[in-house]
């Protein structure tokens, strides 16, 4: 165990490694999300491939020092392809005893642990349910423990600035970040530039954070308490301009691109809800693109305002999470019945009810598929990474506009808050979007359908001679007038379902990765892609014949799904729920026998647990 009162005179070794996993943990007010984000962004600027996992409590301000108030940020950086934020941790930075207690099990034996000794007071130890001080009782002997009085050093660095004690202590996370920058051979320039931009009207804050960041860096360098530093080289990536992006931002930008390419102004009617709110925040910044954002008084007003905007000729969006999707159910049925384009983005979180609002889960799939009264089929698709949220947000808009029906886009908290490098695209690089608009003077029958897709025409109110009726009562199959005729209702029920089924003709066929046939097919959907891909890749390295089939299109499923499923001896469906996609597959392809692996802990799959399960199945 090394403390900051001792010097290690052994020359430092600079070890080259392919990847490392780092976790910052502390109280929810300790700035762990900012610290982790800055380290991630700096590593991205250096050229590393990256995956992040922010993990924070549901309470806005949990009791200080409590176990359930711990906020954490994990990042894996590498010079190779990174698909997950990692399983075991190579460096744990614990700002308090509660952070240490709840996260020590993730740290690999023999790896580095940095702790703020100033926080290991009797009171904080009791809050973390420690009977003895782990820094003194030998329980940390299996780790390289770096004890640093971060709070004391932060106060020393800022003693001449005249700041209040609260502002001083708030800066200690930058001391930790400075140390980690030294350990992993990172430049401080990007973070200092971030301070200058974010706090340009508060020069004192810029100066304070810069001083503490540098103090942490030079402390680690000059005190020689760290015997080994590490270098993670740049990753090999396709040429292009990249930026770090999280799933919510990527979703917002995909919607923007669809608006630009379709020629329709974008309208977002939304009620704030974790973890979807940042899509509303992001789109509200871009009014110069003709974006209209409306923060409604509740979920129902959010979606019905969007339906009104669609009726009036806008590309209409509403965003929510699971509880909000439940409230939107009747209105989704209305949009389906009057056959207007509408995109519903559902950023899933742990349920039921309020559940685990800041934790990830995949438990809204059956709600998206069937959670409406009556026969109400709509298109359901899912993003699978933070970066491809851009593509599938765009695809959701394209499908809604071209097929004249609502589309639910599923993401989740892991995708929404996690970040990864994204190769910036131009709107012109995306596939074209056509529309069903009828122009003045054209012969118009409101529910006349395209023979191939069965999509109806779209007439904008106010266009001369294109008057028509819409509403929640069943309508005549041609005119749209109210009709209670039994055979008409049967026809409309069947034609709306057939219209969604025919979307199969417009989506790509699915292909398994790693193996096209073999002993085991691992099936997933949505945000589990990275973990499943990493686990299947490792299985193949070890000599197993395992394929990975990942669904982005769920209703309808790709045409060749059964053909792919049949090529493997065994099939296992892995989900962060109690088993929902497996029910969809069983309903569509009952001739296949499915195994299941399910997890509902508010956490993503780890590669290790997946590999263990796959080997059991084999």
Which residues are CB-contacts of 217 (< 8 A; sequence separation ≥ 6)? 178, 179, 181, 182, 188
- Return d(Cα 222, Cα 214) in angstroms, integer: 12
- Return d(Cα 225, Cα 219) in angstroms, integer: 9
Q: Which residue has the tokens 């779209």?
A: 458
Q: Which domains does the chain have, with CATH numbers?
A: 2-231 (3.40.920.10), 243-429 (3.40.50.970), 518-617 (3.40.50.920)
Helices 299-311 and 329-338: angle between axes, nearest 10 degrees: 10
pLDDT at 471: 87
Q: What is the DSSP letter of 19?
A: E
pLDDT tens figures, 152-191: 999 999 998 988 888 899 999 999 999 999 999 999 999 9
Strands 13-16 and 228-231: parallel
Instruction: For residue 157, give both structure tokens.
Output: 């660095």
Q: Which residue ranges of the chain lie beneath pLDDT 50?
A: 5-11
- Return d(Cα 170, Cα 209) in angstroms, integer: 9
- The β-bridge partners of 344 are 318, 408
- Return d(Cα 77, Cα 74) in angstroms, integer: 10
pLDDT at 61: 74
- Return d(Cα 227, Cα 216) in angstroms, integer: 16
Ranges of H-type helices in 404-511: 413-417, 486-501
pLDDT at 4: 60
pTM here is: 0.94
Helices 203-222 and 172-183: angle between axes, nearest 10 degrees: 40
Contact 76, 43 (CB under 8 A): no
Which residues are CB-contacts of 395 (< 8 A; sequence separation ≥ 6)? 381
pLDDT at 12: 58
- The β-bridge partners of 343 are 317, 407
Compute CA distances 108 → 67, 89, 227, 505, whole Å. Answer: 21, 6, 18, 49
- Return d(Cα 339, Cα 480) in angstroms, integer: 11
- Return d(Cα 307, Cα 303) in angstroms, integer: 6
End-to-end alpha carbon distance in the chain: 43
70-78: strand order across its sheet: 2-3, 144-148, 107-116, 89-94, 19-27, 70-78, 49-55
| Coil vs helix vs strand at 159 | coil
Strands 594-598 and 568-575: parallel
The neighbour count for residue 240, using CB atoms within 10 Å, is 9
pLDDT at 296: 97
Compute CA distances 109 → 17, 104, 139, 145, 521, whole Å. Answer: 17, 10, 12, 11, 33
Helices 389-403 and 247-262: angle between axes, nearest 10 degrees: 40
pLDDT at 8: 42
Task: Spell out the long-range contacts of 166-171 with Cβ–Cβ below 8 A and sequence spacing 24 or more.
Answer: 167/208, 168/208, 170/29, 170/31, 171/208, 171/209, 171/212
């Amino acid at each position: 165990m090394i403390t900051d009162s001792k010097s290690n005179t052994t020359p430092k070794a600079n070890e080259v490694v392919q990847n490392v996993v780092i976790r910052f943990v502390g109280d929810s007010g300790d700035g762990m999300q900012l610290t982790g984000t800055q380290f991630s962004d700096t590593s991205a600027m250096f050229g590393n491939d990256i995956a992040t996992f922010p993990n924070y409590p549901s309470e806005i301000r949990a009791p200080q020092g409590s176990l359930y108030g711990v906020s954490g940020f994990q990042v894996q950086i590498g010079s190779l392809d990174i698909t997950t934020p990692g399983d075991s941790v190579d460096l744990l930075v614990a700002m308090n005893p509660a952070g240490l207690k709840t996260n020590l099990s993730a740290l690999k034996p023999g790896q580095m642990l940095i702790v703020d000794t100033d926080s290991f007071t009797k009171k904080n130890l009791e809050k973390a349910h420690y009977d003895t001080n782990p820094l003194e009782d030998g329980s940390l002997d299996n780790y390289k423990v770096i004890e640093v009085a971060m709070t004391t050093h932060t106060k020393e660095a800022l003693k001449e600035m005249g700041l209040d004690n609260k502002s001083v202590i708030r800066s200690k996370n930058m001391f930790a970040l400075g140390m980690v920058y030294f350990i992993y051979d990172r430049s401080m320039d990007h973070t200092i530039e971030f301070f200058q931009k974010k706090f340009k009207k508060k020069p004192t804050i810029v100066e304070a954070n810069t001083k503490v960041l540098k103090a942490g860096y030079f402390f680690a360098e000059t005190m020689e308490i760290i015997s080994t530093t590490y270098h993670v080289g740049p990753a090999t990536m396709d040429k292009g301009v990249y930026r770090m992006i999280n799933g919510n931002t990527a979703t917002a930008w995909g919607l923007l691109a669809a608006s630009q390419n379709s020629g329709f102004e974008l309208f977002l009617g939304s009620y704030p809800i974790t973890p979807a709110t940042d899509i509303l925040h992001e789109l509200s910044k871009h009014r110069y693109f003709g974006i209209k954002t409306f923060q409604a008084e509740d979920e129902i007003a959010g979606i019905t305002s969007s339906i009104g905007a669609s009726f009036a000729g806008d590309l209409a969006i509403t965003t929510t999470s699971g509880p909000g999707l439940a409230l939107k159910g009747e209105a989704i049925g209305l949009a389906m019945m009057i056959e207007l384009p509408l995109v519903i983005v559902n950023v899933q979180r742990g349920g039921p009810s309020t559940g685990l609002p800041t934790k990830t889960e995949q438990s809204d799939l059956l709600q998206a598929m069937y959670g409406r009264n009556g026969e109400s089929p709509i298109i359901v698709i899912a993003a699978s990474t933070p970066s491809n949220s851009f593509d599938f947000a765009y695809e959701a808009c394209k499908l809604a506009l071209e097929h004249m029906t609502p589309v639910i886009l599923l993401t989740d908290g892991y995708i929404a808050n996690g970040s990864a490098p994204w190769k910036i695209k131009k709107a012109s690089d995306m596939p074209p979007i056509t529309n069903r608009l009828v122009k003045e003077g054209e012969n118009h029958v409101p529910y006349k359908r395209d023979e191939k897709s069965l999509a109806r025409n779209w007439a904008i109110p106010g266009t001369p001679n294109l008057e028509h009726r819409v509403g929640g009562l069943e309508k005549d199959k041609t005119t749209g007038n109210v009709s209670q005729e039994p055979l008409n209702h049967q026809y409309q029920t069947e034609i709306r379902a057939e219209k969604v089924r025919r979307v199969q003709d417009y989506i790509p066929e699915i292909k398994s990765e790693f193996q096209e046939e073999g002993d085991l097919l691992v099936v997933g959907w949505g945000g589990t892609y990275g973990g499943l891909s990493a686990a299947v890749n490792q299985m193949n390295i070890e000599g197993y014949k395992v394929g990975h089939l990942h669904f982005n299109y769920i209703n309808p499923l790709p045409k060749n799904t059964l053909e792919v499923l049949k090529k493997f001896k065994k099939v296992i469906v892995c989900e962060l729920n109690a088993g929902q996609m497996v029910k969809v597959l069983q309903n569509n392809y009952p001739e296949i026998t499915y195994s299941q692996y399910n997890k509902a802990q508010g956490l993503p799959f780890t590669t290790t647990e997946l590999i263990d399960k796959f080997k059991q199945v084999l």
